[in-house]
Amino acid sequence: MKLKEVVLLAERLKGISSINEKVSLLSSFLKRVDKEEGKVVVALLIGENPYGKVGLGYQSLKNLLVLKESNESVEVSEIDKILKELKKIKGSDSLYRKLNILYYLFRKLDDKEREYLVNFLIGEIKIGANKGIIKKAIAKTFQISEDILDEIILKKGDFLQVIEGIFKEGKNYIEKTDFEIFQPFSPMLANIIYSLDELPKEKLACEYKIDGIRIFLHKKDKEVKIFSRHLKDITNNLFEIAEYFSEINGDFVLDGEVVLLDKENKILPFQDMMKIISRKERERFENIRPFFFDILYKNGEKLFGIPNKERWQILSKTIPNNLLIERIETDDKDKIKRFYEESIKRGNEGIMIKKLDSPYFIGSRKKYWLKLKNFYPLDLVILEAEWGHGRRKGWLSNFLLGCLNRERNGFLPLGKTFKGLSDKEFTEITKILLTKKIEDKEWGIIVRPEIVVEVFFSEIEKSPFYESGYALRFARINRIRYDKNPYEIATIDEIIRIFEEERKKKGEIDIFY
């Protein structure tokens, strides 16, 4: 199958409003796809690279859009091969080598194919058919129940892996798929709330939300494997934990987070932890501490469907108490408020709130789990704005945010965000920013620092990429502050104060070795 056929299908889907018509069109199309090309065709449609990010942004790829147009096109199997090659390229000259490979590919494409492939590579595909519609089309094509297909995707945790299996084996793949120990799956996720007023009125479980790395620990006999939330085997990165759990009785699968401690047993910032744990070779680091909050399998029994309260009781009898996350069960909002404040005081991100009757939904974000994080509000200015791509095309949507310098006569950058605004607000702020333009750039515009926005963020971390020396983590714009001028915003001294206060507050805990 040619890439051109995928692009033409995407164009047709954009012009159809009926979900049933989209599903029928997709199903007819998928019936023509070769079983060896099924995964890459679906990947191109949903904008999800099956081999991970290629490390190239729009600025690196834009010159490929102006090559002389060709009508040669390419097979999707060639696209698949190139995506594999790009993932393998490492080193100081990796950018040049990746672009060189893509140059020979893009010279075979027409303008529409090039634009589509660039949007795919930067994760900005929008074809008018989301993953849910694609699933309906797959179910119709292979005559599989949508509920069963959803269940298999959740168990496997990898949408494209399931698609590949179905294309190659049909219903036989569905029949032989089940939970297996040492087979990673995607975590259950939580919805964010911003106030205790959003809590359901019932007895709830509340747990500390620590700033760690999400892990799944699988153990059978003496063998232990640890997987990340992205399904990557990270056992060798956390060999201390694997060795410790190999001596604990029973077979089980645990869900939790791991943190790294400094010499004073205080939790290190997330970025420091990643630097140490991601090293290919490192010395034994005794101050690694996991905390677990769920158990999904024990001694041959799957526990996904039983209530959260019962799973917690099983977990409490499986591992030592000092490896359990701090937890309370209550329907008293005042107690939850105090628990939240204590968690923040100890340097954590906030709290998780879970319904006691909650099953475990693999890979899903359900209202059974909520998270209340310690989001700071700061007023900052917009210094630059980039033109959006894909869904945000036509809007200025990626904003460089800044604070005042010490002299209060200039501004220092603190990082970028495109999150928080509605489509209507993107349209509005684009019009405003264009009136403040100082200079056009290929990627967007530099503006007069006059637009003040209220920004929520969870943490400040050191950064070598910005002149301020700091960057906001999980930043999102809450609103445009029409009532404020740029000399009323936060200063760099406030940024440093917040950073230092948070660093001091990181909680002290005992190591388990």
pLDDT in tens, 41-71: 999 999 889 888 888 888 888 888 888 888 8
Whether 300 and 366 map to the same domain: the answer is yes
Would 513 be classed as within a structural domain?
no
Whether 254 and 351 map to the same domain: the answer is yes
Provide the residue range defining the domain that includes 294: 189-373
User: Is residue 62 classed as helix, strand or coil in its secondary structure?
Assistant: helix
Predicted local confidence at residue 336, as pLDDT: 97
Task: Indicate if the pLDDT at residue 277 is higher than 80.
Answer: no
What whole-number distance in Å separates Cα of residue 201 and Cα of residue 268?
Answer: 35
Instruction: Decide which of 145, 175, 205 is a domain's last residue.
Output: 175
In CATH, what number is assigned to the domain containing residue 266? 3.30.470.30
Whether 72 and 193 map to the same domain: the answer is no
- Tally the residues of the chain: 513
Question: Given the structure tokens 């989209």, which residue do they identify?
Answer: 22
Predicted local confidence at residue 512, as pLDDT: 39
Q: Among candidates 247, 257, 242, which has minimal Cα distance to 221?
A: 247
Considering the chain, what is the average pLDDT of its residues? 88
Predicted local confidence at residue 124, as pLDDT: 81
**Domains in the chain: how many in total?**
3
Whether 163 and 218 map to the same domain: the answer is no
pLDDT bucket at 513, cuts 50 / 70 / 90:
very low
Q: How many CB atoms lie within 10 A of CB 348?
A: 25
How would you label 234-269 residue by residue, b for 16+ Cβ within 10 Å and e otherwise?
A: bbebbbbbbebbeeeeeebbbbbbbbbbeeeebbbb
Whether 259 and 294 map to the same domain: the answer is yes
**Token code pair at residue 55:** 């490390």
Whether 367 and 380 map to the same domain: the answer is no
User: Radius of gyration (Cα) for the chain, nearest Å?
Assistant: 25
Whether 365 and 424 map to the same domain: the answer is no
Contacts of 26 (CB under 8 A, 6+ apart): 9, 13, 45, 129, 133, 134, 137
Task: Indicate if the pLDDT at residue 294 is higher than 90.
Answer: yes
What whole-number distance in Å separates Cα of residue 11 and Cα of residue 128?
Answer: 9
Q: Above pLDDT 90, what percent of the chain?
A: 52
Would 200 be classed as within a structural domain?
yes
Whether 489 and 432 map to the same domain: the answer is yes
Mean pLDDT, rounded, for 471-494:
87
Contacts of 312 (CB under 8 A, 6+ apart): 205, 293, 294, 327
Task: Decide if 327 contacts 312 (C-beta within 8 A).
Answer: yes
**Token code pair at residue 56:** 């190239």
Whether 220 and 323 map to the same domain: the answer is yes
Task: Decide if 249 contacts 241 (C-beta within 8 A).
Answer: no
Whether 164 and 228 map to the same domain: the answer is no
Would 246 be classed as within a structural domain?
yes
Burial of residue 322 (CB within 10 Å: 0-12, 13-18, 19+) is exposed
Q: Which amino acid is at 435?
A: T
What whole-number distance in Å separates Cα of residue 26 and Cα of residue 470?
Answer: 47
Q: How many CB atoms lie within 10 A of CB 110?
A: 16
* Long-range pairs, 153-158, Cβ under 8 A, ≥24: 153/363, 154/185, 154/186, 154/361, 154/362, 154/363, 154/364, 155/179, 155/185, 155/362, 156/183, 156/185, 157/184, 157/185, 157/186, 157/231, 157/362, 157/363, 158/186, 158/231
Q: What angle do CA 459, 259, 187 make, to 5 degrees?
A: 85
In CATH, what number is assigned to the domain containing residue 488? 2.40.50.140
User: Is residue 401 classed as helix, strand or coil in its secondary structure?
Assistant: strand
The catalytic residue among 209, 298, 373, 506 is 209
Q: What is the pLDDT of residues 109-150, one digit of tens each?
A: 999 999 999 999 988 887 767 888 999 999 999 999 888 888
Predicted local confidence at residue 374, as pLDDT: 76
Whether 465 and 359 map to the same domain: the answer is no
Q: Is 302 a catalytic residue?
A: no
**Token code pair at residue 150:** 């959803």
Instruction: Decide which of 316, 338, 373 is a domain's last residue.
Output: 373
Whether 24 and 96 map to the same domain: the answer is yes
